[in-house]
Structure 1
Amino acid sequence: MTPSTPLLQVRDLRVDVGERTVLRSVHLDVAAGSLVVLMGANGSGKSTLGMALAGHPAYRVASGQALLGGTDLLGLSTHERARQGLFVSFQAPPDVPGVKNNLFIRTALNAQRQAQGQAPQDAFDFLADARESAKRLGLPESLLGRPVNEGFSGGERKRNELLQLALLRPRLALLDEIDSGLDVDGVRAVLALVQHLRAQGTAFIVVSHYLQLIEQLQPDAVLRLDQGCIAQSGGLELAREIARSGFGPKATAPSTAPTAAAHTVEA
């Protein structure tokens, strides 16, 4: 991959869920360190894109291509995609009973480090990093030793997703309505973490309809998904237009050509 090649390249991606085609033809380029906001009406396929890239078995890729750093994601299992540096958050993070939170994240981190030829992080150093990150994110330290998300409030579940993001430091993160359920301090934590990771080269695709958050994220591009395709691409003005008028009929037909690539953000 040359410096000018986008980190993520999606070409003509079609995804079926059951008998329904949700994504018809998605073309998308995302550069390292850039941030793309994805908007669209309910059922337009925003979450489907993330689940398909992650390899969820219920989301069947019928055709197309998705490359991360030049590696074909679609030919890899879910855990191999994660080891390539892909992170996808959940709208509603599930419980993982019986698995301690700190062990869960450390195991994921060391699997990723192993794939990159790095030595594993020992428990002492990991716990120090986890405590520091949890404090910055407003997540009680006591939750590190509890089963993943078990008994967590909605906001704590989202902050726990942020904790995983902070410690794993992925190459590409798709955040699906990460602000949902968060209070003002939680939203500030999102903004600070995204800004920090972008400076280190992490690229983001953020699904959100919260205009204030979108404006503060300062995205490189705003995309509107409609009828399984990228129908519009633009900047903050597109997000503001959607906030004003909603997702009613548009004059612009869904595009099946590649959207404008998000530009690279220099560290």
Structure 2
Amino acid sequence: MSIEKSKPLQSIYEPEFVQELFNEMSLTYERMNTITSFGFSNRWRRRCVFELNIQPNQVVVDLMTGMGETWAYICQRIGPSGTLIGIDFCEGMLRYADQKKRKKQFSSYTITIHKQNVLAGTLPAQSADHVVVSFGLKTFNTGQIKQLAIEIQRILKPGGQFSCIEVSVPKPALLRILYLFYLRQVIPILGALFLGNPQTYRMLGVYSTQFKNSKQASQLFQDAGLICQPTSYFFGCASGIVGHKSQ
């Protein structure tokens, strides 16, 4: 895929563009994520899941599940009697998720994968005890985040919980300058080494810069009728939203 530097910002949120972008990155995404975040991405995913009071037998929906990077933490909580539903529209990512599902580590768990846009609205209403969204918010514009919040509100059972995590732009000036330099300059170089295409991974910096942090998204979730609050991790290098649906 050829990503033009002059690509209009509004078009980078088109589902077809995001789908193609992550299909191309799927060969190296998990490894790149771990390396470029110095392992923090895995810690933040764990923290995202552990914000929730997940119990055995419950149903957890992992929206934008990617390669199933949160599954180990979710399965640890739901046990063999629970159900994990992963949803994503990126075929390249789901190919690896399906391979992961077949590994011995997950053989005793009930995991269902759906290839579809998370905004499609096909899951039954009030069917999930918990919803997890890890590192997917930045690829949505404001209107899409509104839709996502409404969808989460729809599929959660009364009292059900949700947790989101996303790479963010920290507020401390020096850290922000260094972090943005890393996102915009260093990660594309690593992308060129791993994938041969610096423009593809440069888009992650573009998305993160436009997203800023989860504060605005948290307000949109509240507007959708969810009770929530924004969270911040590692001086704002990651932020999230934790909340629940009223009884």
Establish whether TM, by shorter chain, passes 0.5.
no
TM-score between both structures, scaled by the size of structure 2 = 0.30
Higher-RCO chain (CA-CA 8 Å, sequence separation at least 6): 1
Higher Rg of the two aligned structures: 1
Point out the structure with the larger helix share: 2
TM-score between both structures, scaled by the size of structure 1 = 0.28
